[in-house]
Amino acid sequence: MKTQRRVSAAVVALLLGGAGIAITASPAQAAEATFKVKCVPPAGGGDPVEGETTAKVTAPATAKVGDEVDVVWETVKPASNNTDLMDIPKDAVQPTGWITVGGGQAGELKVVGEKKNPPIPKKAPMVMSAMKGKLKLTKAGKVTLTPGKYDVAVTFSFGTFVTKCAPVGEVKGGATIDVSAGSSGGATNGGATNGGATNGGATNGGAHGGTTGGGGGQTDFPGKPVEVAFDCGPVVPGGIKTPVTINAKKNGGSYDLTVKTAKGAMAAPMALPAGALKPSMNVKLGGADSGTVKVSGPANADPIPDKAPVSLSDMTGTYKPGKSGKVTLSPDQLTIDVTMAPGATPINVPCKAASSGVSLELDTAAQPGGSGSSTSTTGSTTSGGLAETGAEDEGGIKALALVAGTVILLGGAVFTFTPWRRLRGTR
């Protein structure tokens, strides 16, 4: 949808910077590095953007082998202010960075900021929290800390957008720690330890496929929004265009999926009964696995008054891997069942994904009875995906306006159903 593309493009310009306030242990020293970055927006967010930023890395001036020291990355000069398109809400921005460790030891240190910021008006300077991490020192000598690539996640009411930024050319500058001999303290792959857990979708994700999951004890794997064009044939002239996000939560060897569509609000021009609208979708598997996983959401539990916002619930289901390896998950066919009276035959509206993209990538391990096996009684798959559908009503598209013989989806899509008087009479 056009609004979504403008929002994504706006987010890109916001993210050409690092983080906020540095907090370090004493004694400490800080050093700056000014460098160019290239930021790649999420799908539908426009072209990559380049800018220049000044980052300051703070760490202890001296330490000894075996110490675990605090390292902080802050931005002295962001590369861009907020755009004039929209305000950024409070506590919506979370950065994650990677600092190159060199000199006496080599590796990469992950630093993570809190999801904490004041409201950021249009055209105002960007404000992001400090990115922090802990580094285990394993060798004596001078250890250099140079800022490098970073991701920034911005969460709006309609989804989370992750922009991936990387330096253009060599980065010069950064902090240096003078490490003296001491206890070994136990080396861990070059000494760089994890900088902390991430929230709000700012996990490592790959430019094409959202978050990669499956290891390190992580259980929640947020996907990225991808704009999907649905072709509903003559039933919906012009089709449907909406961002779709696939999120996963590890549950034993399986993954509980939650599929969210765009959020918006439109007034219904007529009253709708409880149970009138029920969505479902096929999630397409790629990479190491194949087939589809069906997810579905419950119908509206309460009647929807005239002129009130209309919501489609989130769609849930379970993916049980049949193959080991990296598996991609993409939105596929969407179906909406419309029932205007109890016991009436639902009007089934299938919408094929004419264009889509990868929302999530998982690093899976094959499970007995996984993809390619018999389907469970609570779900279904095709060509090798096993699904167990769930039912949680948590928002979805607050975007259907029911107008005479049509249902209009936020973003310009129009559902042309049987006229409402005929739907009411269907038994």
CATH assignment at residue 131? 2.60.40
Q: How crowded is the C-beta side of 422, counted as CA atoms within 13 Å?
A: 8
pLDDT in tens, 304-334: 787 777 667 899 999 999 999 999 999 999 9
Q: What is the pLDDT of residues 131-184, one digit of tens each?
A: 999 999 998 999 999 999 988 888 877 777 787 889 999 998 889 999 998 643
HSE (side-chain half, CA atoms, 13 Å) at 266:
21
pLDDT for 182 equals: 66
pLDDT score at 127: 83
Q: Positive or negative, the Cα torsion across 237, 241, 247, 248? A: positive
- Could you give the C-alpha distances from 47 to 5, 8, 10, 50, 313, in angstroms and in order? 11, 10, 11, 10, 32
Neighbours of 379 (CB within 10 A): 21
Phi, psi of 113 (to 5 degrees): -100, 160
In this structure, are 216 and 184 located in the same domain?
no
Q: Is residue 400 part of a domain?
A: yes
Strand positions, DSSP E, 232-382:
240-251, 254-261, 277-287, 291-296, 315-319, 325-338, 347-355, 360-364, 381-382
45-104 tens-digit pLDDT: 567 888 888 899 999 999 999 999 999 999 888 777 766 677 889 999 898 999 999 987
Helix (H, G, I), strand (E, B) or coil at 424: helix
Residues 253 and 395 grouped into a single domain: yes
Last residue of a domain, one of 191, 224, 256: 191
Split at pLDDT 50, 70, 90, the class of 44 is low
What is the predicted pLDDT for the residue at 422?
Answer: 38
What mean pLDDT value characterizes the chain? 73
Q: Is residue 77 domain-resident?
A: yes
- Domain housing 301: 212-425
Tokens, residue 355: 């264009």
- Residue 203 is assigned to a structural domain of this protein: no
Confidence at residue 28, expressed as pLDDT on a 0 to 100 scale: 73
Say what the pLDDT of residue 345 is: 80
CA atoms of 267 and 350, how far apart (whole Å): 24
Two tokens, residue 68: 């675990």
Examine residue 181 and state whether it is found in any structural domain, yes or no: yes
201 lies in some domain: no
Q: Give the residues across from 293 on adjacent strands.
A: 283, 381
Give residue 263's pLDDT band: very low, low, confident or very high (50, 70, 90).
low
Closest CA to 73 of 143, 23, 144, 138: 23
pLDDT given for residue 283 in this prediction: 95
Residue 342 in tokens: 């109890």
251 and 130 part of one domain: no
Shared domain for 343 and 249, answered yes or no, is yes
196 falls within a domain: no
For residues 235-241, average pLDDT:
69
The structural domain count of the chain equals 2
Is 101 in the same domain as 244?
no
Residue 204 lies in a domain: no
**In this structure, are 31 and 89 located in the same domain?**
yes
β-sheet with 406-409: strand ranges across: 400-403, 406-409, 413-416
217 and 107 in one domain? Answer: no
DSSP class of 309: B
Same domain, 163 and 227: no
On whether the CB atoms of residues 251 and 317 are closer than 8 A, the answer is no
Query: Does any domain span residue 74?
Result: yes
- Which single residue is written with the structure tokens 């136990």? 186
237, 170: one domain: no
Q: What confidence tens digit (pLDDT) does each residue in 8-31 have?
A: 444 444 344 433 323 333 357 888
